Amino acid sequence: MTAYDYNCLSSQSALMISEWTFTSYEACCTDVLPDGCRDIIVEECDGHAPKLFISELSQSTYAVSTSRGKRIRGLRLRPGIQIRQAELSSWLQDRDPAEIFGTDQLGEFCFELDNLSSALQCLESEKRGVLGSAKELGVSLRTLERLVKSGTGRSPYFWFSLARIRRTARSLYETESLGVAALDAGFTDQSHMIREMKRWFGKTPGQLIKDDYIRSALLEAGYG
């Protein structure tokens, strides 16, 4: 049995989109969907010192195992937010990592690049595509690729594809036709959509629709 709690909040909201808590009442394994966000995470378990770590941008769904009694708290950063990890490590010395919650410290370690944020917002837009985003931003495709890759470690196509597949997955719960969902999302055909679903989520559209956990996870704040 596990419990999640999400809150979109705080004076730090310019840098983050939610603060969340996960509590495990028994040993379990939980799937984590790609959402385009990095999280500053603190693990707390009786008898052990709290640990802080930063999640990476995932390109597919992955499983996380948790032991009984473990509590995990996180700050979900907005897509593209930069982290000064050296400053964060320095601040953590001789401190309880959980002190990062309920404070205004986040601005000391995280910052936003205006050009990068604009690029990610453009790539997130429906059907514009990578080339269309470059034109909208008034830059060359190569310039867009350099900006996004240097700021996130991922290509513009990664961000465009992630936003599209997350939107499409949510649309499955509102349509009776996979073909229409694929067409509306801009996939070449239904088979293309199914391949992308399996690549990102490890499941077919039919499996996604039947999975209540996946559905709730797709409704959480994230990219796309």
Q: In this predicted structure, what is the pLDDT of residue 7?
A: 42
Residue 168 belongs to what H/E stretch? helix 156-171
Residue 3: per-residue pLDDT: 46
String of b and e for 185-222 (b: at least 16 CB within 10 Å)?
bebeebeebbebbeebbbbebeebeeeeebeebbebeb
pLDDT of residue 12: 54
Amino acid identity at 198:
K
Per-residue model confidence (pLDDT) at position 46: 80
Show the domains of the chain with their CATH numbers.
2-111 (2.60.40), 114-218 (1.10.10.60)
Q: What was the pLDDT predicted at 194?
A: 96
Model confidence pTM above 0.85: yes
Compute the distance between CA of residue 90 and CA of residue 69 in angstroms, rounded to an integer. 29
Mean pLDDT rounded to a whole number for the chain: 88
Q: What is the reported pLDDT for 66?
A: 82
List the chain residues with pLDDT less than 70: 1-13, 103
pLDDT of 79-115, one tens digit each? 999 999 899 888 888 888 888 887 678 888 899 998 9
| Per-residue confidence (pLDDT) for residue 148, from 0 to 100 | 97
End-to-end CA distance of the chain: 29
User: Torsion angle, CA of 86/88/94/97, rounded to 10 degrees?
Assistant: -140
pLDDT given for residue 13 in this prediction? 65
